[in-house]
Amino acid sequence: MNAINTLTKRLPGAGLLLSLLTVSLLTSCSRFNNDGSLATWGYIILALDVFALFDIFRQNWGIGKKILWAAIVFLFPLGGLILYFLFAGRGKSST
């Protein structure tokens, strides 16, 4: 029962992320402009990834779990970000 309550609390956030993902894919399929510079969507992903990495290392987890989540977010910028915010089981940070 507790797992269902946790899942229902995460559904609004998942819906928001899914709608942002859909909008971003409809407006731009690339994080880069034609001249090689980052597009606006690229800056948003970069900022969210940096936020996620700071959040990962603030958590009260073992070093193995922190490194695993950091590698997922680093190697898969958009997918890792979505996975982290949906399934990491984040709690209150230690600071």
Domain assignment present for 94: no
Residue 26 within a domain? yes
93: in domain: no
In a domain, 95, yes or no: no
- The yes-or-no verdict on residue 75 having pLDDT over 60 is yes
Cβ atoms of 77 and 41 closer than 8 Å: no
CA 31, CA 39: separation in Å to the nearest integer? 5
pLDDT (tens digit, 9 = 90+) per residue, 77-88?
A: 888 888 898 888
State how far the alpha carbon of 26 is from the alpha carbons of 20, 32, 65, 80, 86, in Å.
Answer: 10, 15, 34, 20, 23
Residue 22 falls inside a structural domain: yes
Report if residue 11 sits inside a domain.
yes
Domain range spanning residue 12?
Answer: 3-88
Judge whether residue 28 has pLDDT over 50: no
Express each pLDDT in 29-66 by its tens digit.
556 666 767 677 777 888 888 899 899 889 888 999 98
* Calculated CA dihedral for residues 26, 28, 31, 35, nearest 10 degrees: 170
The whole-number pLDDT of residue 30 equals 55
Q: What is the domain count for the chain?
A: 1
The residue among 3, 22, 25 whose CA lies nearest residue 14 is 22
